[in-house]
């Protein structure tokens, strides 16, 4: 016993002599609420299993706030190492000059992870043949519906509407039977407009959505956009569509649906876990289906939404290597399975999908299946690849203001024409600001 104590004591005394200072890296993200705690647990696991690295994680507000804060910090010489940036911030991130192309830093023996991304995700994030960031939280919109309200209205609870016209007919039944106060809700957000544009196989901007060359013209005054706005306006005028009255109010739309004030909700696949839990807690049966699309068009598929992780430049080599180590661990097969189960975001690696299939995850959790099937069935073309626009956040605001103006009585043709001109000016001004 004495010999053991002596050895233990010598070991304890020896630790400070051999201990090395940890490499500290900073990770900024845009997830509040329960996801903040979820991310913190994952980061704690990394720190525990990688004793030479200390990741400090910080919530920085909305997607827009996080990107703007990162650019400002970089200009001040205090950039975080890793930043979560929403998909429509990709062009701005590239133009900012504060990030390094992630693919250039991944060692050859680890590039297998970059080759493992499912096609729809790689289709969006591989820009000019290269991954500039690591895909992380990927999603697209699906239809959620209350099966109990459907039964009450005489609708088939296993056959949700698949087109705009079918949604309208379902709403007529729901209103006639008073099965719910409102028929359907979704956030007043340009993201849904972008998805419906892609579903029609149409483009949002010239030069193949800005993928063949930098975009110089935004296609808001288009037939594809007119179909969307005309239907949305009719739904609003008939009282079928409900929203909180505020643009981009995701929580407001969720609450309308969860409180059973509306029979249907269109929102992100990232909320599948939340809505499964809410259905259980509030005593109704949840169904999910593909995003309804305009009548008479061929379904092309959705654009991958969500965000990716970017690596900033200018840090010491040891910190760059530590940040890359964390990025590849944080987005590996095991953690993508964990992230999917805990949030509903897609398991973006093929190997993650294989693990989930082996577990019969989608069979046992059918609410997740519609979301993933919709993603995998999307066609890989310029429409579903999504647009690259420098001032995309500003253009989203222009589209959202246009929708509200139509609700308030502005003629659709006039609203589209004015919004198109505003978006084109925003794009022209942005391109000029970056020397393009």
| 3-class SS of residue 150 | helix
Residue 381 lies in a domain: no
Express each pLDDT in 198-229 by its tens digit: 999 999 999 999 999 999 999 999 999 999 99
Could you tell me if residue 252 is inside a domain? yes
Does 66 reside within a domain?
yes
Nearest Cα neighbor of 39 from 47, 48, 29 is 29
For residues 5-23, average pLDDT: 50
Q: What is the pLDDT of residue 137?
A: 94
**Mean pLDDT across 313-337:** 96
- pLDDT given for residue 16 in this prediction: 46
Query: Is 186 a domain residue?
Result: yes
Can you give the residue range of the structural domain that contains 58? 23-138+304-376
Residue pointed to by tokens 């699906």: 142
Q: Do 369 and 424 fall within a single domain?
A: no
Whether 284 maps to a domain, the answer reads yes
Per-residue confidence band for 12, with pLDDT thresholds at 50, 70 and 90: very low
Query: Which pLDDT does position 13 carry in this prediction?
Result: 36
The span from the CA of 292 to the CA of 311, in Å, is: 37
Give the mean model confidence (pLDDT) for residues 99-122: 90
User: Can you tell me the distance from the alpha carbon of 267 to that of 191, in angstroms, rounded to the nearest whole number?
Assistant: 10
Collapsing DSSP to helix, strand or coil, 79 comes out as coil
Residues whose CB falls within 8 Å of the CB of residue 423, separated by 6 or more in sequence, listed in order: 218, 220, 395, 398, 399
Residue 167 resides in a domain: yes
The answer to whether the CB of 407 falls within 8 A of the CB of 232 is no
Residue 5: C-alpha distances to residues 8, 13, 16, 19 (Å)? 5, 12, 18, 21
CA distances from 182 to 30, 177, 189 (A): 32, 11, 19
- The average confidence (pLDDT) of the chain is 93
If asked whether residues 131 and 155 sit together in one domain, one would say no
Cβ pair 218, 204 in contact under 8 A:
yes
pLDDT at residue 5 is higher than 60: no
Same domain, 32 and 79: yes
- Same domain assignment for residues 296 and 162: yes
**Residues whose CB is less than 8 angstroms from the CB of residue 409 and which lie 6 or more positions away in sequence, other chains included:** none
Question: Which residues, 6+ apart, have CB-to-CB distance to 353 below 8 Å?
Answer: 118, 347, 372
| pLDDT surpasses 80 at 22 | yes
Q: What is the pLDDT of residue 88?
A: 94
What percent of the chain lies above the pLDDT cut of 90?
86
Q: Nearest CA to 192 among 153, 240, 228? A: 228
304, 307, 302: which is closest to 292 by C-alpha?
302
Same domain, 366 and 325: yes
Which CATH number covers residue 339? Answer: 3.40.190.10
Q: What is 129-147 written as a DSSP string?
A: TEESSEEEEEE-EEEEEEH
Judge if 254 and 393 occupy the same domain: yes
Strands 130-131 and 126-127, how do they pair?
A: antiparallel
Asked whether residue 436 carries a pLDDT value surpassing 90, the answer given is no
Whether residue 406 sits in one domain with residue 271: yes
Same domain, 100 and 170: no
* Co-location of 45 and 154 in the same domain: no
pLDDT in tens, 368-383: 888 888 988 999 899 9
Same domain, 313 and 298: no
Q: What is the mean pLDDT of residues 103-130?
A: 90
pLDDT given at position 344: 87
**5 belongs to a structural domain:** no
**What is the rounded CA–CA span in Å between residue 11 and residue 157?**
66
Q: Is residue 327 located within the same domain as residue 284?
A: no
215 within a domain of the structure (yes/no): yes
Mean pLDDT confidence for 28-55? 95
Distance CA 238, CA 170 (A): 13
Contact between 95 and 74 (Cβ < 8 Å): no
Residue 179 dihedral angles phi and psi, to the nearest 5°: -70, -25
pLDDT at 372: 85
Give the tens place of pLDDT for each residue, 380-416: 899 999 999 999 999 999 999 999 999 999 999 999 9
pLDDT in tens, 233-273: 999 999 999 999 999 999 999 999 999 999 999 999 999 99
Number of domains in the chain: 2
> Percentage of the chain surpassing pLDDT 70?
96
| pLDDT score of 183 | 98
Q: How confident is the model over 153-198, as pLDDT tens digits?
A: 999 999 999 999 999 999 999 999 999 999 999 999 999 999 999 9
Tokens matching residue 376: 């995998």
The label of the residue with tokens 């379904």 reads: 299
Estimate the share of the chain in helix, then strand, then coil, as percent rounded to the nearest 5: 55, 15, 30
Model confidence, pTM: 0.91
Whether residue 313 is found in the same domain as residue 279 = no
In the block, tokens 């004793």 appear at 51
Is the per-residue pLDDT at 317 higher than 80? yes
19: confidence class by pLDDT, cuts 50, 70, 90: low
């Amino acid at each position: 016993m004495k010999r053991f104590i002596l050895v233990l004591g010598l070991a304890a005394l020896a630790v400070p002599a051999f201990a090395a200072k940890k490499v500290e890296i900073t990770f900024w993200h845009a997830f509040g609420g329960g996801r903040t705690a979820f991310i913190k647990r994952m980061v704690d696991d990394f720190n525990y299993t990688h004793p030479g690295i200390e990741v400090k994680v910080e919530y920085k507000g909305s997607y827009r706030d996080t990107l703007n804060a990162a650019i400002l910090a970089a200009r001040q010489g205090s950039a975080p190492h890793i930043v979560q940036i929403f998909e429509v911030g990709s062009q701005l991130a590239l133009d900012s000059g504060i990030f390094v192309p992630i693919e250039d830093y991944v060692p050859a023996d680890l590039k297998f992870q970059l080759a493992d991304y499912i096609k729809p995700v790689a289709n969006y994030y591989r820009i000019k043949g290269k991954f500039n960031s690591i895909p992380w939280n990927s999603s697209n919109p699906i239809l959620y519906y209350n099966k109990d309200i459907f039964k009450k209205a005489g609708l088939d609870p296993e056959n949700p509407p698949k087109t705009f016209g079918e949604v309208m007919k379902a709403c007529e039944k729901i209103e006639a039977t008073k099965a719910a106060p409102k028929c359907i809700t979704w956030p007043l957000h340009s993201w849904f407009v972008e998805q419906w544009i892609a579903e029609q196989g149409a483009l949002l901007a010239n030069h193949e959505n800005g993928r063949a060359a930098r975009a110089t013209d935004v296609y808001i005054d288009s037939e594809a956009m007119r179909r969307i706005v005309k239907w949305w306006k009719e739904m609003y005028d008939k009282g079928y569509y409900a929203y909180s009255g505020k643009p981009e109010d995701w929580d407001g739309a969720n609450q309308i649906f969860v409180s059973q004030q509306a029979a249907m909700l269109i929102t992100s696949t990232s909320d599948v876990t939340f809505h499964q839990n809410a259905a259980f807690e509030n005593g109704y049966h949840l169904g999910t289906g593909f995003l309804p699309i305009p009548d008479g068009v061929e379904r092309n598929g959705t654009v991958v939404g969500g965000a990716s992780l970017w690596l900033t430049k200018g840090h010491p080599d040891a910190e760059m290597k530590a940040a890359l180590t964390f990025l590849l661990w944080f987005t590996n097969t095991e953690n993508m399975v964990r992230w999917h189960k805990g949030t509903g975001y897609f398991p973006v690696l093929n190997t993650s999908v294989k693990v989930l299939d082996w577990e019969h995850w989608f069979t046992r959790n059918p609410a997740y299946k519609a979301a993933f099937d919709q993603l995998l069935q999307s066609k890989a073309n310029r429409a579903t690849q999504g647009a690259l626009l420098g001032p995309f956040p500003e253009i989203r605001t222009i589209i959202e203001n246009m929708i509200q103006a139509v609700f308030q009585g502005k003629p659709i043709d006039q609203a589209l024409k004015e919004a198109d001109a505003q978006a084109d000016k925003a794009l022209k001004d942005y391109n000029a600001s970056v020397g393009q």
